Structure 1
Amino acid sequence: MKQVYSDVIQFRGNHYDFGYMQGELLKDSPILSNREKQWAGRRKRHFNINEQEAIDMLSSFIPGMRDELEGLADALQMNMHDVLRDFGGYYIDYARSGCSILTGTQFLIRNYDSHPSGYEGRYMIYQPTDIGYATIGPSMQITGRIDGMNEKGLAMGYNFVNRVGSGDGFICNMIGRIILETCSNVEEAISLLKEIPHRTTFTYVLLDSKGETFVVEASPRSVVARKSNISTNHFEMLTEENRYRMDDSIRRQQVMAGQPNETDVYSAFQMLNNKGNEVFSDKYGAWSGTLHTAAYIPKERKAWFAIGGDRKPIIFDFNEFLNGEKVRIKQVKGYLDYDKSFINM
């Protein structure tokens, strides 16, 4: 068993200062050097951007992001082209992963399944003072979010479906950040997902404080929304976008579908996090091992988080942070049945 951890990073302020603060932290972190080793040889082939187009798209969909990227660039002494390529979330390639999501009218529970060597170990709590909603959730590619909730009670998670037939557009984690920072409810998020250009094929699961929950199937070619409380790694409507092999995705969907409709949040969390329930995965070498289980409870503005399996969640009271209190938790620790660490270690 390998002990791993996620740092809890909280900030109140404008986007430029938020970016600069993150850049200062990254100087003392192994994240960038570890990622540099992983990306060697791939950048020129897969990480191509049109700088002005990327800036224009970010300015259109998430206005504060350009300032955040400029803060990162200044702190790290990088030029804007390289910052956009590494942190901008537009055009950049994305590794395959698993993932399972279960929602009720009161909660969204999500297993994030991937490889430890691509996981940043950064749990972000940010309240902007210039533009956008406050958000809570784990980061991906520094500026993006894997899942999360905002101050309006909108919760979001996504599941990988396919990378074949990718197009020009945003990748999933930046889309997640845009949803959380700019949308107040499910309806606004669905409208955004229909407007924004998608790089690859994912489902986006949405829940708001009214208890409305939708699964949005999104590819570079089409976007459709359907009422559902379960999502794994295949589409139900845009079936032509699915991968050839869907056996494990269907199996996990069936396991979750067998649960009672009125499951409470803790039972639902255990269902995904406990190793004996056949949803949690130890397949880390195949990029489909469960790294974290997250829960979001919109009406209470609470977020639960655990790393690894068979864990009790750490509970964050987002309302307290929104009311000006400081989060006391510095790290969330856990164990993985694998020999590789997160890239923050």
Structure 2
Amino acid sequence: MELTFQALEIDKAGRKWATLFAQLWPAYRRWYLSDGLEQRPTYVACRDAIAAHMPELLQTYERLCDWAGGGDLAARFLSLWKPPAYISGCSQVVWLGERPLLIRNYDYAPALSDGLIMKTRFGRTSVLAMTDCMWGVLDGVNERGLAISLTFGGRKTVGPGFGIPLILRYVLETCSTVAQATETLSSIPTHMAYNVTVVDRGGRFATAYLAPDRKPVVKAVAYATNHQGRIEWHDHARATATLEREQFLHFRINDPDMTEDALIAAFAKPPLYTNAYRTGFGTIYTAVYDPVAGTARFIWPDGSWDLSVDGFAEGRMPITFQSGTRAVG
């Protein structure tokens, strides 16, 4: 299995983004209609939801709709309001050494991953992020010194809300500190359960536990895997070894002999790293974000790629994934 990662800087004209949208839209269209058109909200409902919950994104949203060709269905998809359910794995941790870092593994199926790293300045803030759904954020950093990452929360509940990648985009577009980020995360409805970890250049950090049917919970916790307190979806927990990964991270960051390099290296080995790609929970990449320097390092077993908000360079990185038995646990 192969995936070519791309790093693109999106300019105000949007030509590169429009070309990319034309390439990816057929697959996203199938996914968006997977439950039937009648399950998706109308364009008016989608636009109204963004205007109500993320008004600073409304102008960008409308610009992207134009770049996508102005179609009704594409505009509804781009809102990520009440999208189909989707599930991933993932582990993430904040490291406070000489500088704060956010380190994470993204676990998913290569065939369903965009592999798209975008440098954008849609509004007043430059953002460097691994993207999903054409402009949503899986993890990233902004020029204000804020880094953010998500993991699935391990619950089946689906409700009215946004797909979490758009919420992360909004945080990076509008927030500078962990306090601002957690307040924002707590104010926007999410359609599924997710754990979002944030760290700023001052070394402040938090994890927000979000769900469509519960009030948000924010704790000064430096790590997250795929559950929210107690295990509620036992099959998923066993398949992804969420408890083992959480305990592993807990002990590593509380080990007085732990170093930055050793912690990053641990993400390339079990239980954090998995090659179970055929079941949809293989490690697609490790990301290391430095909110002080505004940099990102993406790491694979056979290479790495360094990018920066200030010194961003476009490029491509082909990666081959070797599937095997479940490498976690």
Q: Deviations over 1:146-196 (max 9, x none)?
A: 110111111111111245232111111111111111111110111111111
Given candidates 111, 131, 135, the residue that maps to 2:105 is 111
- CA contact 2:289–2:296 (8 Å) conserved in 1: yes
* Letter aligned with residue 114 of structure 2: E
Matches within 5 A, 1:1-345: 2-13=1-12, 17-18=13-14, 21-27=16-22, 29=23, 31-38=24-31, 41-44=34-37, 46=39, 48-63=40-55, 65-79=57-71, 81-105=72-96, 106-128=100-122, 131-220=123-212, 221-236=214-229, 239=230, 242-245=232-235, 246-247=237-238, 248-259=241-252, 260=255, 263-272=258-267, 274=268, 276-306=269-299, 309-320=300-311, 327-338=312-323
Q: 2 CA distance for matches of 1:133 and 1:43? A: 36
Moved over 6 A (4+): none
C-alpha root-mean-square deviation of aligned residues, in Å?
A: 2.3
Deviation at 1:249, TM superposition (A): 0.1
Partner SS, residue 9 of structure 1? strand
Partner SS, residue 293 of structure 1? strand
Deviation at 1:98, TM superposition (A): 0.6
Q: 2 CA distance for matches of 1:244 and 1:3? A: 31
Number of matched pairs:
315
Partner SS, residue 234 of structure 2? coil
Q: 2 CA distance for matches of 1:262 and 1:68? A: 46
* Letter aligned with residue 268 of structure 1: L
User: What is the percentage of aligned positions where both structures have the same residue?
Assistant: 20
* Letter aligned with residue 337 of structure 1: Q
Partner SS, residue 104 of structure 1? strand
Structure 1 counterpart of 2:327: none
Q: 1 CA distance for matches of 2:313 and 2:30? A: 33
TM-score, normalised relative to structure 2: 0.87
Structure 2 unmatched runs, 5+: 325-329
Q: 1:50 to 1:26 in 2, by over 3 A?
A: closer
Partner SS, residue 156 of structure 2? coil
- CA contact 1:10–1:125 (8 Å) conserved in 2: yes
Structure 2 counterpart of 1:343: none
TM-score, normalised relative to structure 1: 0.83
Q: 2 CA distance for matches of 1:25 and 1:108? A: 28
Deviation at 1:277, TM superposition (A): 3.6
* Letter aligned with residue 184 of structure 1: S
Q: Deviations over 1:213-251 (max 9, x none)?
A: 111111112101111122100112xx48x3234341001
Q: 1 CA distance for matches of 2:244 and 2:205? A: 22
Q: 1:6 to 1:150 in 2, by over 3 A?
A: same
Q: Deviations over 1:271-330 (max 9, x none)?
A: 11x2x3421111122221111111101112211113xx424421112233xxxxxx3341
Q: 1 CA distance for matches of 2:257 and 2:182? A: 25
